[in-house]
Structure 1
């Protein structure tokens, strides 16, 4: 029997060593990992007298000063290489000791099971098996029974639309949230009642707490999964779904099964602690249970749904299978750094994508919780992303053995880097959240400030100013947030940012001298905006440039000419600006009439035309002072020049002018008023005979062969 035991132990050592060798290739990348250490001896031997004397000498000030000086000395390349080899060797040694510990504990599990049975017998004996079994059954069933009663008393909510159409809970986000989450909360409270009400024995209480946590986690996993399925399958405005319901249900079932299996596996490992199982035995059971997680993941990969017309990629399926297998091997061999990097590479992008999809579905839902609430949508979307990434970062540090108190107070290089990295992640996430909130708020204000929706001229002017200034403020805010966030991250990593700021100032001065034109453009643009010289949508003229202002940047303005071309003009080249769209404009019309015109009659006709323009509902809102005759401008060589004028809103004078001229022409014709045009009169008295004689003489002098011109 002893020989068989030795042989089995050797085979087990061989199998676990093979998995250890497979993961050995990644050991160099995981030098900062902290795998579980081998169990230390229970008692330490008393050091000899010579050792105690040496320790006392090391406490003297002279020895401490000399050691501090030696520690400050830079290590040579040979020492650095030796340290790297030593660190790698220590890492490999720790992994090997971990494998040996687990393999040795596997052979001792039968004895530990017998010992745990004795502990349970002694624990249950005073109360009796019947009572303990009843309490455990109540712990398992209390939540389910109370939740069932709750569902019977509180029916499924229905939403009645304005047209008396009933909307079921699956199509309404708010009701869906209530229907999925509230029963899970009821289940959790009911599960905790027997845990708190019964007088559990000490060891049994620890086991009951682990079971209750597993039950609550499993129930919330199912509730959250169903809620996500309902959200991501909500139809959009066009009736299409972002993801098919069959595909969403497939991944919900696999993920829920994975989480439930993981929760009860964790509870089983926690139950082994008060029963006296060794660390190696618990690791061995965890690794065996991990094969179940591997099987669930592989089954999901090979049976995953595909879109119509597509084929499941065998290469991807095999690659993911091998990938999950390597993760299990890294877990067994204790390479925690590589393990969690691999887990995060798979889970973190998917978790972020699902969270974003759910929030967007809430926002797009017609009767959703976040419909038409852009700020709340952005806050929830970026806030959930920030919470997921922050929790992942802190959990990653915890799995590497970097506790929060150690990271906060530690002065080792690893502690400082970990503290700076996690702090940098939090800072960047906070900056990202702040920027998206500010951008959503500014974009919302821009949408509200559309010029075409203004009711009055003052409102239109205010909205035009907002359309001009808010985009520039948004760009400046983005730069400020990015610069401050980067500086805070560098400061958290231990980089001295004061020299960076000073250097940036020097570089800024140098760039300012070398790019005076750009600086001139930026500063000129700031003063143009400060003076409110022009706004988006206004027509301006400046030198040879003219057009409608379409957009701004920090150094230039874009002008759209009325014929179509778009011109980008730096602010420094604008100079004096003529704005044709402010307040009002006076349009003057000059007419030439004959000298026999009745000017009083002409004035009455033009007055009637002005009244007709005021009576026209298309023109009257844009006329400040209607068309009227100002009087005689001058006496010309062939006509009397009369001047007409009208005051209109900027940009509207062209259309009104064209229609006014057409009405004047018709009215003058009806009233016998003629427009004067220049004419040429040729007098023929006394010269007609001489002209005919000269023409006949020229014809007689022409050669006979020449044909007359046609």
Structure 2
């Protein structure tokens, strides 16, 4: 016969376990936050000798040397921090529930047996959950993307706001927050990793002097690259690749700009703005509408 619940001993034990679990959770969350903040502060100290000997400092130093690189430091810190908090939360409260069950003398044998039977029914659903967790784990390990990255998943494009082992949350340009199960991500494009290319197409009248226009745009790209506000966002001087296409009354000139991650949109706008003003000053006409005579 199963022993009965005894008051107040068992109640005190359960209270102690619950309070202990909450305190443990808060302490671990605090330590994770400390490590994350220190990693963000010390992004430029990777090559310097450590000057502090605390546990948090050592943990931050080890993680920084093994996991992170300078370019994606803050994004990966935020991503790993959210994953660690998720694991801590699940782990601590799972242990708490099992301990409370033990105090209440709830036998684990029958529960495990019933779990084995019900597991057959839940197996197919669990496959999806396991797939999500494994996919999320490999995405983090392989650094496919992180918080703050601009990514494309199928028809969805936006900035990653949160990553867990099961779910990735993306905010698109309209402000919509998308919740995507990691197991459903088959094709992924990351605009923020490594470098990005800004593509600027300049349309002009098809009968304008192409050599003159190329010379004007070449000067525009030189001016943009010489501007300290934009040179830090560019990895090289933008290239005027030439006439991209001629269609109807329009000749299109293409400019390619290799940029730092996520900086291509601002660079594109600046090049368009300066190109518009330079072409206007030179009297270059815009695209013309050709009317067929009948």
* TM-score > 0.5 by shorter chain: yes
Deviation at 1:503, TM superposition (A): 4.2
Residues 149 and 160 of structure 2 are in contact (CA less than 8 Å); yes or no, is this contact kept in structure 1?
A: yes
Q: 1:455 to 1:598 in 2, by over 3 A?
A: farther
Structure 1 spans left out of the alignment, 5+ residues: 1-73, 75-412, 684-710
Q: 1:637 to 1:428 in 2, by over 3 A?
A: closer
CA distance in 2, matches of 1:503, 1:449: 46
Q: Could you tell me which of 11, 33, 36 is aligned with 1:443? A: 33
Deviation at 1:651, TM superposition (A): 2.2
Deviation at 1:501, TM superposition (A): 4.4
Matches within 5 A, 1:180-259: none
Deviation at 1:645, TM superposition (A): 1.1
Q: Could you tell me which of 224, 237, 242 is aligned with 1:613? A: 224
**Corresponding residue number in structure 1 for 2:200:** 589
Deviation at 1:438, TM superposition (A): 0.5
CA distance in 1, matches of 2:33, 2:25: 12
**Corresponding residue number in structure 1 for 2:98:** 487
TM-score (norm 1): 0.34
Matches within 5 A, 1:133-532: 426-448=16-38, 458-459=69-70, 461-491=72-102, 494-501=105-112, 503-504=114-115, 506-514=117-125, 516-532=127-143
**Corresponding residue number in structure 2 for 1:217:** none
Q: Could you tell me which of 171, 174, 177 is aligned with 1:563? A: 174
Structure (1/2) with the larger strand percentage? 2
CA distance in 2, matches of 1:418, 1:486: 19
CA distance in 1, matches of 2:246, 2:90: 65
Q: 1:640 to 1:565 in 2, by over 3 A?
A: closer
CA distance in 2, matches of 1:566, 1:482: 28
**Corresponding residue number in structure 1 for 2:146:** 535
Q: 1:466 to 1:508 in 2, by over 3 A?
A: farther
Deviation at 1:482, TM superposition (A): 2.0
Structure 2 spans left out of the alignment, 5+ residues: 46-67
Deviation at 1:579, TM superposition (A): 1.6
**Corresponding residue number in structure 1 for 2:65:** none
Q: Could you tell me which of 233, 236, 240 is aligned with 1:622? A: 233
- Partner SS for 2:238: strand
CA distance in 2, matches of 1:606, 1:650: 24
Residues 587 and 653 of structure 1 are in contact (CA less than 8 Å); yes or no, is this contact kept in structure 2?
A: yes
Q: 1:670 to 1:648 in 2, by over 3 A?
A: same
CA distance in 2, matches of 1:458, 1:473: 19
- Partner SS for 2:187: coil
**Corresponding residue number in structure 2 for 1:572:** 183
Q: 1:648 to 1:521 in 2, by over 3 A?
A: same
**Is 1:655 the counterpart of 2:266 in the alignment?**
yes
Residues 632 and 642 of structure 1 are in contact (CA less than 8 Å); yes or no, is this contact kept in structure 2?
A: yes
Q: How many aligned positions are there?
A: 270
CA distance in 2, matches of 1:468, 1:613: 34
CA distance in 2, matches of 1:594, 1:422: 84
Deviation at 1:640, TM superposition (A): 4.7
CA distance in 2, matches of 1:497, 1:639: 77
- Partner SS for 2:273: helix
- Partner SS for 1:663: helix
Tell me which structure has the larger Cα radius of gyration.
Answer: 1
Structure (1/2) with the larger helix percentage? 1
**Is 1:551 the counterpart of 2:141 in the alignment?**
no
Which protein, 1 or 2, shows the higher relative CO under an 8 Å CA cutoff with sep ≥ 6? Answer: 2
Deviation at 1:589, TM superposition (A): 2.5
Deviation at 1:646, TM superposition (A): 1.0
CA distance in 2, matches of 1:605, 1:436: 61
